[in-house]
Amino acid sequence: MVKRNAADYTDPIKANSTGFRAWSEADIAAYRARHPLGTKARLAMELLLWTGQRRQDVVNMRWSNVRDGRIHLDQEKTGKPMAIKIAPQLMAAIDAMPGERGDFILQTAYGKAHTAAGFGNWFRDQCDDAGLKNCTAHGLRKAIARRAAELRATNQQLKALGGWSGDSEVGLYTASADQKGLADSVIDAVSTWERG
């Protein structure tokens, strides 16, 4: 009977959500214990963690994107070009993979790229298999940001790492960082500075 939706005239309701949960160090260790080097599950986790990229970017990574010790890509969501240094831990996972390399770093049994949704479901199963019911692929993007923040990375460094444009985006990804440790380091630094 009403020809217009009254909700069209209201402001959106803000939801209090922190989004996906960042993986803890214990989560990462548990996953690694369940999925050893040389498995696709381990390579997938290390790619997500060490590149800090979204699952749609990880599934589209090709071996041809790997050169000069970096993975080169243009982010699908933003179009932002990225050149991500390959950490030794990621290189160990790459080197441990048996068999011939196909076109994609992570590929299906048919040699094709995963869809982002299909990969997300497969990765969910790998997390469940490791007893990590609250962990997701996107939580690894938050984990590398949390780690970097706890090691005192600047906002500019964090933006370069994840391909974020704004400081507010960085805040969302580093919300789980150790507040106490970060605040302590600032107090210690300012106290040392003041004492000369």
Q: What is the pLDDT of residues 86-130, one digit of tens each?
A: 999 999 999 999 988 889 999 998 989 999 999 999 999 999 999
Q: Has residue 13 been placed in a domain?
A: no
Q: Has residue 2 been placed in a domain?
A: no
Q: Has residue 100 been placed in a domain?
A: yes
The range of the structural domain enclosing residue 73 comes to 20-195
pLDDT-derived band at 169, boundaries 50, 70, 90: confident
Q: Give yes or no for a contact between 125 and 108, defined as CB atoms under 8 angstroms apart.
A: no
What is the predicted pLDDT for the residue at 128? 98
Q: Has residue 133 been placed in a domain?
A: yes
pLDDT-derived band at 142, boundaries 50, 70, 90: very high
E strand spans, the chain = 66-67, 70-74, 81-85
Q: Has residue 6 been placed in a domain?
A: no
What's the CATH number where 82 sits? 1.10.443.10
Measured at the CA of 122, the angle between CA 141 and CA 52, to 5 degrees, comes to 15
Q: pTM of the entire structure?
A: 0.85
pLDDT beyond 90 at 8: no
pLDDT > 70 in the chain, percent: 96
- Indicate the number of domains in the chain: 1
Residues in Cβ contact with 59 at an 8 Å cutoff, skipping those fewer than 6 apart: 104, 106, 113, 114, 115, 116, 119
What is the predicted pLDDT for the residue at 18? 61
Of 47, 41, 15, 48, residue with least CA distance to 138: 48
What mean pLDDT is predicted for residues 12-39? 88
Q: Has residue 64 been placed in a domain?
A: yes
pLDDT-derived band at 17, boundaries 50, 70, 90: low
What is the predicted pLDDT for the residue at 187? 87
DSSP per-residue letters across 42-87: HHHHHHHHHH---HHHHHT-BGGGEETTEEEEE-TTT--EEEEE--
Q: Give yes or no for a contact between 148 and 158, defined as CB atoms under 8 angstroms apart.
A: yes
